Amino acid sequence: MASELKDRVALVTGASSGIGRATAIALVEAGFRVALVARNLERLLEVSRELPADRFVVIAQDLTEFDQLADLVQTVETKLDPVDLLVNNAGVAYVAPLEQMPLSDWNQVMALNLTVPLALAQKVLPGMRQRQRGTIINIVSIAGQRTFPNWGAYCASKFGLLAFSRTLAEEVRGDGIRVTALCPGSVDTALWDSEHVKADFDRSAMLSADSVARLVVWAATLPPEAVLEEATLMPSRGAF
């Protein structure tokens, strides 16, 4: 890793599982110090056992409690340093025909998948502008480019996240801040085990979380004059 990137601080949401877990570990291996955020403290601690003690902090927090996000970022900055890389990864799926989708489930999907990335970006952007550098990577999905029956809430949130990502990129590029939208196809993670996702797909044909993490690290460690604006990463053998 280039020496100017070494020791920089990354905040990874949803770091207790799947893509976020793999990303947090890969970023530490690449030289970042990482704040791992999710609700489940036990699982976060389990991930952190794989990491050297001086390279991370663990913060158990429900990110949809928006009034606590300022404190969250403040804690990261106090314990580590200002956030140079924000990985908006935490996400949830509720699967049902739109006609029957409870509004409470719809709101939960929108809150975590779409509003949290905005709220966190608003917390880290002032510092990034001041330093004239920073990277925000949004984990979108192939469901941000294509629609799937029964996945309407999830698709709407991810189409929204892609639009958010593209708009933000235009708004901040003048200050040397990079915004990346990564759209993976299906990834073999606990998302598919959720009681809210009733899907019986061939998990062996899905991407691994490690493959997505590699792309995150690659985008995050590009030279500062380059930005990966969007990427679609598909399983080579899977259907989507």
Ligand X SMILES: NC(=O)c1ccc[n+]([C@@H]2O[C@H](COP(=O)([O-])OP(=O)(O)OC[C@H]3O[C@@H](n4cnc5c(N)ncnc54)[C@H](OP(=O)(O)O)[C@@H]3O)[C@@H](O)[C@H]2O)c1
Structure tokens at 181: 């939208």
Site membership for ligand X, residue 14 (CB under 6 A): yes
- For position 20 contacting ligand X by CB under 6 A, the verdict is yes
CA dist., res. 61 & res. 73, Å (int): 11
The continuous run of DSSP H or E covering 159 comes out as: helix 152-172
By beta-carbon proximity to ligand X, the closer residue of 9 and 161 is 161
Binding flag, residue 128, ligand X (CB under 6 A): no
Which residues, listed in sequence order, are joined to residue 187 by a DSSP beta bridge? 207
Q: Is 19 in the site for ligand X (CB under 6 A)?
A: yes
Q: Does 39 bind ligand X (CB under 6 A)?
A: yes
Binding mask 181-210 for ligand X (x = CB under 6 A): ---x-xx-xxx-------------------
* Rounded CA separation 17/8 (Å): 22
Give least dist CB 78 to ligand X, A.
20
Of 64, 135, 165, 180, the one binding ligand X (CB under 6 A) is 64
Q: Which of 154, 165, 178, 191 is catalytic?
A: 154
194 half-sphere exposure, CB direction, 13 A CA radius:
14
What distance in Å separates the CA atoms of residue 168 and residue 92, rounded to the nearest whole number? 22
What residues does 56 pair with on adjacent strands? 34
Which tokens sit at 123? 């917390």
Q: Measured in Å, how far apart are the chain's first and last C-alpha atoms?
A: 33
* Amino acid symbol at 171: E
Residue 40 binds to ligand X (criterion: CB under 6 A): yes
Could you say whether residue 141 binds ligand X (CB under 6 A)?
A: yes
Nearer to ligand X, 6 or 112 (CB): 112
Q: Does 62 bind ligand X (CB under 6 A)?
A: yes
Active site residue 154: yes
Q: In angstroms, rounded to a whole number, what is the distance separating the alpha carbons of residues 58 and 33?
A: 11
Give the residues lining the site for ligand X (CB under 6 A).
Answer: 13-14, 16-20, 38-40, 43, 62-64, 89-92, 112, 139, 141, 184, 186-187, 189-191
What residues are labeled active site? 154
